[in-house]
Structure 1
Amino acid sequence: MRVIALLLIVLLGVALPAAVGAQTTGQQGPRGQGEPTPRDDGAWEETRNAPSTDAHRIAGNRLEYIVIGPPGQSNAVIQALTAAGAELRRTRDYPTLNRRGLFFDFRNRLQLAEAERILAQAAPQSFVDIHAFYRFAQGSPRIYAPEMVGVTQPGRCRIPGSVTLGLIDGPVDTSHPALQAVQITNESVLNRGERPPATDHGTAIAILMAGQDGGGPLTGLAGGARLHAISAFSRNAGREAGDIERIAAAIDRLLSRNVRLINMSFAGPQNRAMAAVLEAAAGRGAVMIAAAGNSGRDLASYPAGYPDVIAVTAIDAGYRRYRRANFGTHIEFAAPGVDLFVATRRGGSYASGTSYAAPIVTALAARLAPSASVQTVRNRLRAASVDLGSPGRDAEFGWGLVRAPGC
């Protein structure tokens, strides 16, 4: 018996710390607001140096690399990297961002860390990284969302038609009944021959923002707004993905059309080239709202993890964080995103994911501050939020559940 008792004590001593570390807050409802916690960007190096296979591949299964920087530094970049053994594959300009993308094959002659050191000397405003893919932040599948965010009569309160919401996603089916009365500009930045994914994801996100369904289940939370949708995702290896080249082109296109409020319901790795794109966009006044991603980890996925992007997590009808949602000190706001009724080609179905929480925040931002700076948008969203979890800003819910200004 002594031996058995001793074994139980040892086993409990090993198991208990692990169990405690795996717990979440289990928050059941809103609380009062408190003070902010500081942003922690310490995960940068660990995340971006982790092995990544979700990226462009070249013959021989080599990774493709991307450099983002001012056009005036392009020659210096090309000369420095080709002298080190790299091969330039193509270029792409983003004129509104005043940036150029240079795409390289390092031909197994150059390591990323070495390329970074070279550019730090030769072109210090240019940034190199793996040409990564970004995936829709959707999960696997009640109309509770509007009431939960304070919209008791969807469709009744409309915002001015002069407000345009930008959407970077897959293609949008403008023939869907809930979009037929919405003014939509629909563009693509895909290259000729590239196959876009199905319209389900992009259409669902568009309708969550601006759908018109007579107050029905597919009524958006920013009714009356116009949409400018950019298709930047294609099918790659049987999956939908958007790479930095096309996401940058989509951001550039929206800003060139003076569309500043942009929804991005996708997530992927931290990346210096993507950071350079997001920094340039923020410098041009873009207000970018993005899904936190669905890895279920303490992880600042991009674009949501970038400081100039508003990161949104998903919660269910019981005010609990979606079990697959990423969390961390970068999270700013929460919105419904679990078992939402969203549009499909055949009408609608239930789905979960931070993908669906982000457009709710984007729609409410359009109602609260349609043409304001990102800091003003943040302040107004925060003022309208109801605290969840630990008092004040926390790593699971940010400042809490965003609420609408009436209606």
Structure 2
Amino acid sequence: MSSVRRHSDLMRRASGFRRPRVRTTDRTGIRMLRPFALACVLLMAVVAPALGQWKILYYDKNGQVVGVRKNPTDRKVGTAPAAGPAGESARAAATARIVAGEVIVANAPRGFTGIVRALGFAVLERASLRALAVDVFRLRVPRGLSVPAAIVRLRQRFPGITVDANHLLEASAVERTPELHARRLMGWRSPPPWCGRGVRIGIIDGAVDVRHPALAGRAIEYRAFQGPGHRPGAASHGTAIAAMIVGAAPWGGLLPGAELKAANIFEATDSGGVSANVFGLMKAVDWMVAERVHVLNLSVAGSRNAVLGQILDLARRRGLVMVAAAGNGGAQAPPAYPAAYDFVIAVTAVDVRGAVYRHANRGRYIDFAAPGVGIWTAVPGGGRAQSGTSFAAPYVSVLAALEVAGGRARNVAVVRERLRTGVDDLGAPGRDEVYGWGLVRLPRSCASPHVAG
């Protein structure tokens, strides 16, 4: 038995916590993979810093990882330069994984569709983001034209538009580890069912199994944002994040009385895997703005994208506070987006001893740390332990939502300042590139915007 496992067992015995008894058809967990790819992270992927490439995990019908492939059969994957600031890894930008042969566009002028069709582009999809008052387009580039060349051509023909590749996204959970209860990790007592009443939290993630016992009786509205003709992907990751936030007490839900808006942007591939892209993410963000959620949890990541950056900034201007997983690319990985946007709160993961998660990204964009190693989570058919920065983000999302819903913070800057007052500084004094400002601390009793905790 490893020292980590012994430590985990001791913590459970000391706290009196017992893992919920569930039946599951497969207890093998998630196979640990050696990272060799760049993170465009949606919560179930491993990526590594040096090569700046993608790795897509494939799941069986029970939501278990069964393999890794580079090119899903139903959607070809290519590479293209990604927009990025000076100093960002050129190699990472040049090898960002994209949907081959597609670009996305915002700020298009009147008559845009007719003109681009005459130029040889095909309009695959047009989405009217009503809450953000902007239309976005998904185009197929002309035969024989590369995505980078298509971007240049569109910028020359339409000065002022925002155009980029349709970047792929993945999830950031990677391995099976010793099980630890989400609430027990932070010292919270078992909550009353009203804990968090009056709070609205949004998640953009994978599918959610709303019939899971952890989510029975919860206030959840679920929508899918796949492309036309595509089916939702596996529900393992989305169910886990949803249950961490609003799950029933035996499953460690942080705010079981809160209202959850859950958007799925992952779609199933013909080969049995899952994939997601920036276009679906933008549609989901628009829904979150329309629903006026207090905080949006983004346990997803990828390359910097010009169109997505503009859409998220519009959402920020309309009052949306966003919290995102910092990414699982490792210490040398380039910044992961959307966490690396300065108007998004970036969260890294630590274990029970306060050590940073070994696959976590580092960088000046890291804001806070929270538990994210060996979290016992709900998955279709039962539960399992999962690790990654994806599972750290919900802790900060819950704290931020309480601040916003309680009227104590109206924007991301104020939320950051308020969260800083309750952290344990784990690294170098002050903010650092590993832990940010430090480990967030949650109140020991239930917190609600209307009930003192």
User: What's the counterpart of residue 329 of structure 1?
Assistant: 364
Deviations 1:158-204 (A, max 9, x none): 54422111111112111111211211111122245312122211111
Which one of the candidate residues 279, 286, 290 is aligned to 1:245? 279
> Would the aligned equivalents of 2:182 and 2:252 in 1 still touch at CA under 8 Å?
no
* Helix, strand or coil at the partner of 1:249: helix
1:177 correspondence with 2:210: no
Do residues 298 (structure 1) and 333 (structure 2) align?
yes
Other-structure match for 1:205: 241
Offset of residue 379 of structure 1: 1.4
Larger of the two Rg values belongs to structure: 1
1:307 aligns with 2:313: no
Equivalent residues of 1:392, 1:399 under 8 A apart: yes
> How much is the aligned-residue C-alpha RMSD, in angstroms?
2.6
Q: Distance in 2 between matches of 1:342 and 1:275?
A: 31
Gaps in structure 2 of 5+ consecutive residues: 1-49, 51-83, 446-453
More helix by share: 1
Deviation at 1:343, TM superposition (A): 1.0
Q: Sequence identity, in percent?
A: 34
Distance 2:169 2:110 in 1: 25
Structure 1 CA distance, aligned partners of 2:219 and 2:319? 23
Aligned CA distance change for structure 1 residues 154 and 116 (closer, same or farther; 3 Å): farther
Superposed CA deviations along residues 263-321 of structure 1, whole A, max 9, x for unmatched, are: 11111111112112211211211111111111113321111111211111111111111
1:51 to 95, 120, 130: 95
Equivalent position to 2:417, from 375, 379, 394 = 379
What does residue 34 of structure 2 align with? none
Determine if contact 1:78/1:88 at 8 Å carries over to the other structure.
no
CA contact (8 A) 2:224 2:264 kept: yes
Deviates more, 1:270-279 or 1:238-247: 238-247
Q: TM-score, normalised by structure 1?
A: 0.79
Contact residue 161 and residue 225 of structure 1 kept, 8 A: yes
CA distance in 1, matches of 2:401, 2:159: 38
Shift of 1:143: 2.4
Match of 1:346 in 2: 381
Provide the residue aligned with 1:29 in structure 2: none
**Mind listing any 5+ residue stretches in structure 1 that lack a counterpart?**
1-21, 23-39, 58-62
Taking the aligned partners of 1:143 and 1:111, their CA distance within structure 2 comes to 45
2:253 equivalent among 217, 220, 227: 220
Counterparts in 2 of 1:195 and 1:117: CA distance versus 1, 3 Å: closer
TM-score (norm 2): 0.72
Q: Tell me what 2:148 maps to.
A: 112
- 1:12 alignment partner in structure 2: none
| Contact 1:334 1:400 survives alignment (8 Å) | yes
How far 1:154 sits from its partner (Å)?
A: 3.3
How far, CA to CA, are the matches of 1:121 and 1:268 in structure 2? 28
Residue of structure 1 in register with 2:434 after alignment: 396
CA gap 1:43/1:271 in 2 versus in 1, 3 angstroms: farther
Give the drift of 1:44: 4.3
Over 3 Å counting, the alpha-carbon distance change for 1:385 and 1:181 in structure 2 is same
CA 1:388–1:152 in structure 2 vs 1: closer, same or farther (change >3 Å)? same
Query: CA, structure 1 residues 130+45, in 2 after alignment: closer, same or farther (shift >3 Å)?
Result: farther
In structure 2, C-alpha distance between the alignment counterparts of 1:152 and 1:170, rounded to whole Å: 27
Give the direction of change, closer, same or farther, for the CA distance of 1:226–1:390 in structure 2 (3 Å limit). same
| Aligned-pair CA distance for 1:231 | 1.6
Are 2:105 and 1:67 aligned? yes
Distance (Å, rounded) in 1 between the aligned partners of 2:339 and 2:326: 6
8 Å Cα contact 1:84-1:109 kept in structure 2: no
Contact 1:222–1:364, Cα closer than 8 Å, also in 2:
no
| Superimposed CA distance per residue, residues 194-224 of structure 1 (whole angstroms, 9 cap, x where no aligned partner) | 12122211111011111112xx3x1211231
Between 129-138 and 87-96, report the one with greater CA deviation: 87-96
Q: Which residue of 2 aligns with 1:167?
A: 203
Aligned length: 355
After superposition, the Cα gap between the structure-2 partners of 1:378 and 1:280, relative to the gap in structure 1 and judged at 3 Å, is same
**Structure 1 residues 302 and 239: CA distance shift in structure 2, 3 A:** farther
Instruction: Determine helix, strand or coil for the equivalent of 2:338.
Output: coil
